[in-house]
Amino acid sequence: MKAAEMLTLVQNKVDVCGKAVLAKAGNKNPDYYKTQKEFRMWKIIQGLLEDMGESEVHLTEEVQGYFSLLTMDGPNKGVIEVHEGDNVLELLDKYKDVKDIWNKLKKACDAAGLKIAGSNVVKA
């Protein structure tokens, strides 16, 4: 795998983690420090890959599998986007093909500093 390909995947994780850190900051969210640590880890990996330039990255099959698990969506992993003011029933309908949608929806709300109140998504 080329360093540039890996860098694209890592940059996506940096963006997602960065947004999650900002959303959890000041909310007294118990996952704030865990999310902040994950963000820093991805930033370090991003820096290493940027330093490698266009070179080929040689990973064992085991490590390649771990990298794929961390950076790519698997067959049952849907990316759930939630925003303040969203209607929960509309979100459930929109993501009806995603396995275990209710728990993933709650997790996405938590990551964005939101919560489900009644039939709407509101700030936590």
Query: pLDDT tens digits, residue range 51-78?
Result: 888 888 888 888 888 887 787 654 444 5
Chain mean pLDDT for the chain: 84
Q: What angle separates helix 61-71 from helix 3-24, to the nearest 10 degrees?
A: 40
Mean per-residue pLDDT, 98-113: 85
Give pLDDT, residue 86. Answer: 93
Q: What is the tens place of the pLDDT at every residue in 112-124? A: 889 999 999 999 8
- The pLDDT score that the predictor gives to residue 79 is 66
User: Per the structure block, which two tokens stand in for 5?
Assistant: 């390909």
Per-residue pLDDT at 44: 93
In this predicted model, which residue has the larger pLDDT, 93 or 31?
93
C-alpha–C-alpha distance, residues 113 and 124, integer Å: 6
Q: How many CB atoms lie within 10 A of CB 38?
A: 18
Residues 17-44 pLDDT 10s: 888 888 888 777 777 888 889 899 999 9
| pTM of the complete model | 0.55
